[in-house]
Structure 1
Amino acid sequence: MTNEMDNQLAGVGGAEPAGAPSRQEDRPAEIAPTAPEPDTASSERGKSSPEQHAEDAARTNDAYSRSFPSLSEGDVVQGVVVHIDREGVLVDVGTKSEGIIRRSELSRDTSIPAEEIVSVGEKIDVYVMEAENQDGNLILSKKRADFEKAWERVQEAKEHNRTITAMVTDRVKGGLVVDLGIRGFVPASHVGTGSMKNNLERYVGQSIPLKVIEVDKERRKVVLSNKLALEEDKAHRKAETVASLVPGQTRRGVVRRLTNYGAFVDLGGIDGLLHISEMSWTRINHPSEVLKEGQEIEVVILKLDLDAGRVSLSLRENQPDPWASVADRYHVGDLVTGVVSRLVPFGAFVRLEGGIEGIIPSSELSTKKGTKSGYGIAVDSEVEAKVVDVRPEERRLVLSLKQARREEEQRRERKDVEAYQTQSGGDELRYTIGDAFRAQQQSEEGTDQEEE
């Protein structure tokens, strides 16, 4: 058995006899052996040449690089500050290596230290100046990112009619210059109320609300209006205020303007009139005696006429009424001292303690009939008068100068009599009623001569 297998194997493997047909011709075509296909993967796994290592490293590096975002010049992206030194700032923007912001590209003001502009760990927007310079570095700019964002902000404000705020940096011919991150211009006619008498210098250094009325990025032109922003704000505040106003209500307001007849008070978008007669329980000659522009005060709503846009206010309603205690402080027969506040055809008004005014009728001004009303007294002069009538419910206090002087004369006469009696000692009294009458007449004539 074994010899037969050996002979078969030897016959298969030995030389063919001459004249025998070819083995390939005798073997059926369907069983002809085919060469196995090479196993490329196994072959490559079996390689260990330096070239193969280089190819693997290249593929790995390429896959690693593709895992990071690709940036192009002009992109604006967000990054995190990772390092600050005197050369500039390193920012991680998610790429293979950090980007560099040179000092000159941090801010428009190069004198400001980098540490005052950004801080380590802070998220900032940056503009890609070069995705890869000749040294392979990513070059960024915060200044240009801020510039681009400023334009976007201004354009959005224009499109959506939003109010923005900016600092006034300069007063130039025809208006104001404001800093929006870009240069903006506010014409003088659009500052405040638009009055040409407006002092533009006072706005420098202040932040003011603005509406964008023109944007031209190509020409680097931005025109704004402070007036429109203020008008819109006033309209909003007016609507809110009007909806909440009620007669008898106490509201805080700011004195906006003084006139000879009163003051206009801003209640929050709507002005109310505070008439001079409602400023104090006592008489005042001008509103400036008790108020000044810009002063914050509390007023009471007296009347509302919203259709006509009128709101009447009172200041004195929040103050104690001095007439409420007049009946307790002044009684008929009292002698009081006051200052003449006004002279009128029918007499004189005298301001007493507490600010109330009493009236001296012309008939009570002089002790001599026919004497001119008010004769012998002047405004701001101090006088002593007698209370002859008190009517708090009518807010009326009547005084008499004549009776006060008569009582003063009688006091002097009594004093003279007492002095005479003291000098006479035990002697019989010689002072008669006739003497007293003559002395009184002489005294009255002397008083009238003094007045003349």
Structure 2
Amino acid sequence: MSSSEDEAASPVLGMAELLQDFEPLKPLQRGDIVDGEVMAIDQEGILVNVGHKYEGVVPPREMRSLTPEKLQEIKSGSDIYVYVVRPATDEDQAILSLDRAQKEEGWFDLQKRLDENEAVEGKIQGMNRGGAVVEVKGLQGFIPLSQLASLGRGPSDRNQEDQLAGRIGETVQLKILELNRQRNRLILSERLAQQQQREEQKDKLLEELEEGQVRKGRVSGIASFGAFIDLGGADGLIHISELSWDPVQSPEEVVHVGEDLDVFVLKVDRDTRRIALSLRRLQPTPWDTIADRYEVGQLVEGTVTRLTGFGAFARIEGPVEGLIHISELTDKMIEHPKEVVREGDTVTLKILKIEPDRHRLGLSLKQADETWEDQETLEPEETEPEPLLLEQQNVE
């Protein structure tokens, strides 16, 4: 393109921009929310320049939602959003509202939070039999009774009312259940917000947890199969088999709700979001200290736990089991241990061998019987005196 063509195009573009600059401005309408600049503040209200060559005033009745602290923050030159209550006329200034602007801004913000599934903060202002009245972003919302958290079940309605009254003034995190701007309706849930917060804490904890760690926790619940431990954002389970090295009939034998304790992280399954914990792994195993309690040659009681073709296994305590080889069951020739013992039998056994490192224990049933027989043989038998000796004693 030639330089003359460039010069010809330039004035055309400049004119278009100039015309755009002088395009008539859209007049303010009732319900508009505009950004204005504070010009002055006095007892009559706040004078605001809203552009469009207009000025408007926010009367005291339209800024009741402002706290004294917030009002002091507004200075000449401050930018504020205002709601147009009445547009300006040739005779009167525009009437503006901070309260209504805040509400409209609140509705907009709450809709955004709902769309993004985020929680909001609110303050409980009052209670009734149906739930709690709460202030959120300058708007009034309602929390149904079923959506309030940490509300214990009292023995009477009066007790429940006292609990509700005690929460007035409390700041809470909430999830939006229903939002309807036209009907001025805002329904919220404290319970869901706490659930979401707990899920977020659990996600963070699952990333931090490593198998083999020792963590502090609190017993949050007990079931027949184990105990639930709150690790500070997520619950892990100690299966009943991991509560103690000794047999446990009920978790209440070992732990109690509310008890603080250290736990061993056994497994972290991030796919299923499950955490397996152990209490017994923090304690010495019976095998570690078996030499302190037993010795070779000692007689012990054991319970037969299972039979095999080569012998029988017997438990002498907790997880400590030993093998009674088939040759150590009896002096007789047998085909199978079931000819001598059955599962569940309680028998006296003699310890033949102890191997703590290999978790092995050699036991004998027949030698235990022989030991008892030897002990009985060593005991002196009471004999009746001979008749002649009795006669001599009587003569004397």
Query: Normalising by structure 1, what TM-score?
Result: 0.46
Cα pair distance change 1:323/1:376, threshold 3 Å = closer
Is this contact kept in 2: 1:151–1:217, CA < 8 A? no
Report Cα offsets for 1:222-265 as digits up to 9, x if no partner: 42123431232123313432332233221223455666665554
Tell me how far 1:325 sits from its aligned partner.
1.9
Extract unaligned runs of 5+ from structure 1.
Answer: 1-65, 81-92, 95-147, 193-197, 428-452
SS of equivalent residue, structure 1 residue 412: helix
What is the number of equivalent residue pairs in this alignment? 278
C-alpha distance in 2 between matches for 1:165 and 1:356: 55
Match of 2:134 among 165, 180, 184: 180
Q: Percent identity?
A: 27
C-alpha distance in 2 between matches for 1:302 and 1:416: 58
Is this contact kept in 1: 2:107–2:181, CA < 8 A? no
SS of equivalent residue, structure 1 residue 251: strand
Tell me how far 1:392 sits from its aligned partner.
1.0
Task: State the AA in 2 paired with 1:357.
Answer: V
| 1:309-388 correspondence runs (5 A) | 309-336=273-300, 340=303, 343-345=305-307, 347=312, 349-352=314-317, 355=318, 357-359=320-322, 361=324, 373-374=340-341, 384-388=348-352
Report Cα offsets for 1:72-119 as digits up to 9, x if no partner: 446526569xxxxxxxxxxxx99xxxxxxxxxxxxxxxxxxxxxxxxx
Which structure shows the bigger proportion of residues in helix conformation? 1
Match of 2:205 among 219, 241, 265: 241
SS of equivalent residue, structure 1 residue 324: coil
Mapped pair 1:299 → 2:251? no
Is this contact kept in 2: 1:365–1:400, CA < 8 A? yes
Cα pair distance change 1:310/1:215, threshold 3 Å = closer
| 1:26-45 correspondence runs (5 A) | none
| 1:177-326 correspondence runs (5 A) | 177-180=131-134, 184-186=142-144, 188=146, 201=153, 204=160, 205=163, 209-215=173-179, 221-255=185-219, 265-284=229-248, 287=251, 289-291=253-255, 295-307=259-271, 309-326=273-290
C-alpha distance in 2 between matches for 1:169 and 1:416: 89
The match for 2:377 is: 413
Q: Could you say which structure has the larger radius of gyration?
A: 1
Higher relative contact order structure (alpha carbons within 8 Å, sequence separation ≥ 6): 2
C-alpha distance in 2 between matches for 1:377 and 1:409: 24
SS of equivalent residue, structure 2 residue 288: helix
Tell me how far 1:158 sits from its aligned partner.
3.1
C-alpha distance in 2 between matches for 1:153 and 1:348: 76
Tell me how far 1:324 sits from its aligned partner.
1.2
The match for 1:158 is: 110
Task: State the AA in 2 paired with 1:186.
Answer: P
C-alpha distance in 2 between matches for 1:343 and 1:170: 63
Is this contact kept in 2: 1:260–1:286, CA < 8 A? yes
Report Cα offsets for 1:40-92 as digits up to 9, x if no partner: xxxxxxxxxxxxxxxxxxxxxxxxxx975566446526569xxxxxxxxxxxx
Cα pair distance change 1:187/1:169, threshold 3 Å = closer
Extract unaligned runs of 5+ from structure 2.
Answer: 1-40, 46-58, 73-99, 390-396
Cα RMSD after superposing both structures: 5.1
Match of 2:353 among 378, 389, 412: 389
C-alpha distance in 2 between matches for 1:67 and 1:157: 30
C-alpha distance in 2 between matches for 1:304 and 1:318: 17
Task: State the AA in 1 paired with 2:144.
Answer: V
Is this contact kept in 2: 1:303–1:311, CA < 8 A? yes
Task: State the AA in 2 paired with 1:344.
Answer: R
Tell me how far 1:415 sits from its aligned partner.
1.3
Is this contact kept in 1: 2:174–2:193, CA < 8 A? yes
SS of equivalent residue, structure 1 residue 234: helix
C-alpha distance in 1 between matches for 2:128 and 2:329: 65
Is this contact kept in 1: 2:355–2:361, CA < 8 A? yes
SS of equivalent residue, structure 2 residue 144: strand
Task: State the AA in 2 paired with 1:318.
Answer: L
Cα pair distance change 1:238/1:78, threshold 3 Å = closer
